[in-house]
Structure 1
Amino acid sequence: MNIFVIRLKPDEDLKVSLNTFVQQNNIQAGFILTGVGCLFQATLRFASQNYSQVFKQRLEIVSLVGTLSTHGLHLHISLSDRHGKTLGGHLLEGCIIYTTAEIVIGTSEDFIFLRTVDETTGYQELEIQPKTMSLN
Protein backbone atom coordinates (compact mmCIF):
# COMPACT_ATOMS: atom_id res chain seq x y z
CA MET A 1 0.00 0.00 0.00
CA ASN A 2 1.12 3.51 -0.79
CA ILE A 3 -0.08 6.47 1.26
CA PHE A 4 -0.68 10.05 0.13
CA VAL A 5 -1.50 12.93 2.47
CA ILE A 6 -2.99 16.16 1.17
CA ARG A 7 -4.22 19.34 2.78
CA LEU A 8 -6.82 21.42 1.00
CA LYS A 9 -7.09 25.13 1.68
CA PRO A 10 -9.93 27.65 1.94
CA ASP A 11 -12.25 28.02 -1.07
CA GLU A 12 -11.14 24.76 -2.72
CA ASP A 13 -13.84 22.33 -3.83
CA LEU A 14 -13.35 19.02 -2.00
CA LYS A 15 -14.49 16.67 -4.78
CA VAL A 16 -12.87 18.63 -7.62
CA SER A 17 -9.58 18.78 -5.69
CA LEU A 18 -9.64 15.06 -4.94
CA ASN A 19 -10.39 14.24 -8.57
CA THR A 20 -7.55 16.50 -9.74
CA PHE A 21 -5.16 14.82 -7.29
CA VAL A 22 -6.24 11.35 -8.47
CA GLN A 23 -5.73 12.30 -12.13
CA GLN A 24 -2.35 13.97 -11.51
CA ASN A 25 -1.08 10.95 -9.57
CA ASN A 26 -2.66 8.36 -11.90
CA ILE A 27 -4.35 6.59 -8.98
CA GLN A 28 -6.00 3.40 -10.25
CA ALA A 29 -7.19 1.88 -6.95
CA GLY A 30 -7.40 4.38 -4.13
CA PHE A 31 -9.43 4.66 -0.96
CA ILE A 32 -9.89 7.26 1.74
CA LEU A 33 -8.18 6.26 4.99
CA THR A 34 -9.33 9.37 6.86
CA GLY A 35 -10.58 12.87 6.20
CA VAL A 36 -11.34 15.78 8.51
CA GLY A 37 -11.82 19.48 8.06
CA CYS A 38 -14.43 22.20 7.76
CA LEU A 39 -16.72 23.38 4.96
CA PHE A 40 -18.72 26.57 4.53
CA GLN A 41 -20.88 24.98 1.85
CA ALA A 42 -21.86 21.37 1.30
CA THR A 43 -23.62 19.81 -1.67
CA LEU A 44 -24.92 16.31 -1.01
CA ARG A 45 -27.22 13.72 -2.50
CA PHE A 46 -29.10 11.69 0.08
CA ALA A 47 -29.99 8.00 -0.19
CA SER A 48 -32.74 7.16 -2.69
CA GLN A 49 -32.82 10.72 -4.03
CA ASN A 50 -31.94 11.80 -7.56
CA TYR A 51 -31.38 15.46 -6.70
CA SER A 52 -28.82 17.34 -4.62
CA GLN A 53 -29.21 19.67 -1.65
CA VAL A 54 -26.96 22.61 -0.84
CA PHE A 55 -26.19 23.62 2.76
CA LYS A 56 -24.66 27.08 3.17
CA GLN A 57 -23.27 26.94 6.67
CA ARG A 58 -20.11 25.94 8.47
CA LEU A 59 -19.96 22.18 8.85
CA GLU A 60 -17.27 19.95 10.31
CA ILE A 61 -16.18 16.93 8.28
CA VAL A 62 -16.47 14.09 10.79
CA SER A 63 -16.03 11.30 8.25
CA LEU A 64 -15.06 10.88 4.62
CA VAL A 65 -15.05 7.44 3.00
CA GLY A 66 -14.98 5.93 -0.46
CA THR A 67 -13.02 4.77 -3.47
CA LEU A 68 -10.90 6.78 -5.89
CA SER A 69 -9.68 6.03 -9.39
CA THR A 70 -8.90 7.83 -12.62
CA HIS A 71 -12.05 6.00 -13.80
CA GLY A 72 -14.26 7.67 -11.18
CA LEU A 73 -14.77 8.58 -7.54
CA HIS A 74 -17.44 7.31 -5.16
CA LEU A 75 -17.36 9.22 -1.90
CA HIS A 76 -19.67 9.63 1.09
CA ILE A 77 -19.29 12.29 3.75
CA SER A 78 -20.65 12.88 7.25
CA LEU A 79 -20.87 16.46 8.49
CA SER A 80 -21.86 18.03 11.79
CA ASP A 81 -23.17 21.51 12.54
CA ARG A 82 -22.42 23.73 15.53
CA HIS A 83 -24.97 21.82 17.63
CA GLY A 84 -23.48 18.42 16.79
CA LYS A 85 -26.35 17.48 14.51
CA THR A 86 -24.94 15.18 11.86
CA LEU A 87 -25.97 14.63 8.27
CA GLY A 88 -24.38 12.60 5.56
CA GLY A 89 -24.68 11.56 1.98
CA HIS A 90 -23.06 11.22 -1.40
CA LEU A 91 -20.31 13.85 -1.87
CA LEU A 92 -20.90 16.07 -4.89
CA GLU A 93 -19.06 19.02 -6.37
CA GLY A 94 -19.88 22.15 -4.41
CA CYS A 95 -18.41 21.15 -1.04
CA ILE A 96 -16.23 24.19 -0.40
CA ILE A 97 -13.45 24.24 2.21
CA TYR A 98 -13.78 26.85 4.97
CA THR A 99 -10.47 26.46 6.83
CA THR A 100 -8.85 23.17 5.88
CA ALA A 101 -9.36 19.57 4.84
CA GLU A 102 -6.79 16.96 5.78
CA ILE A 103 -7.11 13.83 3.68
CA VAL A 104 -5.12 10.58 3.88
CA ILE A 105 -5.41 8.32 0.82
CA GLY A 106 -4.26 4.74 0.50
CA THR A 107 -3.65 3.00 -2.82
CA SER A 108 -3.26 -0.58 -3.93
CA GLU A 109 -0.87 -1.66 -6.66
CA ASP A 110 -2.76 -4.95 -7.05
CA PHE A 111 -6.05 -3.68 -8.48
CA ILE A 112 -7.71 -1.27 -10.89
CA PHE A 113 -11.04 0.26 -9.85
CA LEU A 114 -13.31 0.78 -12.85
CA ARG A 115 -16.81 2.27 -13.00
CA THR A 116 -19.18 0.38 -15.26
CA VAL A 117 -22.95 0.43 -15.61
CA ASP A 118 -24.51 -2.41 -13.64
CA GLU A 119 -27.54 -3.78 -15.50
CA THR A 120 -29.29 -4.58 -12.20
CA THR A 121 -28.96 -1.13 -10.59
CA GLY A 122 -28.62 1.07 -13.66
CA TYR A 123 -25.78 2.95 -11.96
CA GLN A 124 -22.06 3.05 -12.60
CA GLU A 125 -20.82 0.63 -9.96
CA LEU A 126 -17.38 -0.45 -8.82
CA GLU A 127 -15.74 -3.09 -10.99
CA ILE A 128 -12.56 -4.48 -9.47
CA GLN A 129 -9.93 -5.86 -11.82
CA PRO A 130 -6.62 -7.39 -10.81
CA LYS A 131 -3.69 -5.44 -12.15
CA THR A 132 -1.80 -7.63 -14.57
CA MET A 133 1.95 -7.53 -14.49
CA SER A 134 3.68 -7.46 -17.84
CA LEU A 135 6.43 -9.99 -18.34
CA ASN A 136 9.38 -8.73 -20.37
Structure 2
Amino acid sequence: MKHYFLGKFTRSDSKESDDSPEALLKGNLKNQISAVLQRQMKDANSKKAASYFWGNTGWVIEQAVLESNDIVEWLDDEDIDRYFERVLPELMRLLQKYRSSCDDPNGYGFAVINELDLKLIELARDYQLHVRPE
Protein backbone atom coordinates (compact mmCIF):
# COMPACT_ATOMS: atom_id res chain seq x y z
CA MET A 1 0.00 0.00 0.00
CA LYS A 2 1.52 3.29 -1.08
CA HIS A 3 1.22 6.22 1.33
CA TYR A 4 2.29 9.65 0.20
CA PHE A 5 4.50 11.60 2.51
CA LEU A 6 2.62 14.72 3.51
CA GLY A 7 5.70 16.85 2.96
CA LYS A 8 5.12 16.53 -0.79
CA PHE A 9 2.77 19.46 -0.44
CA THR A 10 5.45 21.87 0.61
CA ARG A 11 4.80 25.09 2.33
CA SER A 12 6.27 28.33 1.02
CA ASP A 13 9.52 27.85 -0.87
CA SER A 14 12.84 28.82 0.62
CA LYS A 15 13.48 30.68 -2.67
CA GLU A 16 10.92 33.20 -1.45
CA SER A 17 13.34 34.91 0.95
CA ASP A 18 12.00 38.22 -0.30
CA ASP A 19 10.27 40.17 2.48
CA SER A 20 8.14 42.19 0.07
CA PRO A 21 4.39 42.29 0.76
CA GLU A 22 3.77 40.24 -2.41
CA ALA A 23 6.20 37.51 -1.31
CA LEU A 24 4.76 37.38 2.21
CA LEU A 25 1.24 37.20 0.82
CA LYS A 26 2.26 34.46 -1.61
CA GLY A 27 3.87 32.49 1.22
CA ASN A 28 0.70 32.79 3.29
CA LEU A 29 -1.43 31.61 0.36
CA LYS A 30 0.89 28.65 -0.25
CA ASN A 31 0.68 27.64 3.40
CA GLN A 32 -3.12 27.75 3.46
CA ILE A 33 -3.42 25.77 0.22
CA SER A 34 -0.85 23.26 1.47
CA ALA A 35 -2.81 22.77 4.70
CA VAL A 36 -5.93 21.77 2.75
CA LEU A 37 -3.98 19.32 0.58
CA GLN A 38 -2.15 17.81 3.55
CA ARG A 39 -5.37 17.26 5.48
CA GLN A 40 -6.97 15.59 2.47
CA MET A 41 -3.94 13.36 1.86
CA LYS A 42 -3.96 12.33 5.51
CA ASP A 43 -7.62 11.37 5.08
CA ALA A 44 -6.78 9.42 1.91
CA ASN A 45 -4.04 7.50 3.68
CA SER A 46 -6.29 6.60 6.62
CA LYS A 47 -9.03 5.40 4.26
CA LYS A 48 -6.52 3.36 2.26
CA ALA A 49 -5.33 1.74 5.49
CA ALA A 50 -8.95 0.78 6.22
CA SER A 51 -9.80 -0.25 2.67
CA TYR A 52 -11.67 -3.28 4.02
CA PHE A 53 -14.30 -0.72 5.04
CA TRP A 54 -13.74 2.17 2.61
CA GLY A 55 -13.04 0.19 -0.57
CA ASN A 56 -11.24 2.36 -3.14
CA THR A 57 -12.28 5.67 -1.51
CA GLY A 58 -8.77 6.40 -0.22
CA TRP A 59 -7.32 5.99 -3.70
CA VAL A 60 -10.02 8.21 -5.20
CA ILE A 61 -9.23 10.92 -2.64
CA GLU A 62 -5.50 10.52 -3.23
CA GLN A 63 -5.92 10.87 -6.99
CA ALA A 64 -8.03 14.01 -6.54
CA VAL A 65 -5.40 15.50 -4.21
CA LEU A 66 -2.57 14.73 -6.64
CA GLU A 67 -4.46 16.15 -9.63
CA SER A 68 -5.38 19.25 -7.61
CA ASN A 69 -1.80 19.67 -6.44
CA ASP A 70 -0.60 19.67 -10.05
CA ILE A 71 -2.97 22.55 -10.76
CA VAL A 72 -2.34 24.67 -7.67
CA GLU A 73 1.45 24.60 -7.83
CA TRP A 74 2.83 28.06 -8.47
CA LEU A 75 4.63 28.65 -11.75
CA ASP A 76 7.98 30.42 -11.70
CA ASP A 77 7.55 34.18 -11.35
CA GLU A 78 3.74 33.86 -11.28
CA ASP A 79 2.10 36.77 -9.49
CA ILE A 80 -0.98 36.35 -7.32
CA ASP A 81 -3.46 37.76 -9.85
CA ARG A 82 -2.25 35.47 -12.63
CA TYR A 83 -2.19 32.52 -10.25
CA PHE A 84 -5.90 32.84 -9.48
CA GLU A 85 -6.72 33.57 -13.14
CA ARG A 86 -5.04 30.29 -14.10
CA VAL A 87 -5.95 28.03 -11.17
CA LEU A 88 -9.65 28.73 -10.63
CA PRO A 89 -10.75 27.79 -14.18
CA GLU A 90 -8.50 24.70 -14.15
CA LEU A 91 -10.00 23.53 -10.86
CA MET A 92 -13.49 24.09 -12.27
CA ARG A 93 -12.63 21.82 -15.21
CA LEU A 94 -11.33 19.19 -12.80
CA LEU A 95 -14.54 19.49 -10.74
CA GLN A 96 -16.59 18.88 -13.87
CA LYS A 97 -14.47 15.83 -14.67
CA TYR A 98 -15.07 14.36 -11.22
CA ARG A 99 -18.75 15.27 -11.24
CA SER A 100 -19.27 13.09 -14.30
CA SER A 101 -16.82 10.34 -13.35
CA CYS A 102 -17.94 6.75 -12.85
CA ASP A 103 -14.79 6.23 -10.78
CA ASP A 104 -16.10 8.57 -8.06
CA PRO A 105 -19.71 7.42 -7.54
CA ASN A 106 -19.86 8.63 -3.93
CA GLY A 107 -18.33 12.03 -4.65
CA TYR A 108 -15.29 11.86 -2.38
CA GLY A 109 -12.87 13.04 -5.08
CA PHE A 110 -15.29 15.77 -6.08
CA ALA A 111 -15.51 16.88 -2.43
CA VAL A 112 -11.71 17.18 -2.18
CA ILE A 113 -11.50 19.40 -5.24
CA ASN A 114 -14.56 21.39 -4.25
CA GLU A 115 -13.12 22.12 -0.80
CA LEU A 116 -9.91 23.38 -2.38
CA ASP A 117 -11.82 25.42 -4.98
CA LEU A 118 -13.95 27.07 -2.29
CA LYS A 119 -10.84 27.82 -0.22
CA LEU A 120 -9.17 29.45 -3.22
CA ILE A 121 -12.26 31.54 -3.94
CA GLU A 122 -12.28 32.63 -0.30
CA LEU A 123 -8.58 33.52 -0.45
CA ALA A 124 -9.02 35.44 -3.71
CA ARG A 125 -11.88 37.41 -2.20
CA ASP A 126 -9.88 38.06 0.97
CA TYR A 127 -7.17 39.57 -1.20
CA GLN A 128 -9.79 41.51 -3.18
CA LEU A 129 -9.21 39.77 -6.47
CA HIS A 130 -11.95 39.35 -9.04
CA VAL A 131 -13.30 35.79 -9.01
CA ARG A 132 -16.21 34.06 -10.66
CA PRO A 133 -19.55 34.14 -8.86
CA GLU A 134 -20.46 31.03 -6.88
Structure having the higher strand fraction is 1
Structure having the higher helix fraction is 2
Taking structure 1 as the reference length, the TM-score comes to 0.24
Q: Greater RCO between the two (CA within 8 Å, min separation 6)?
A: 1
Taking structure 2 as the reference length, the TM-score comes to 0.25
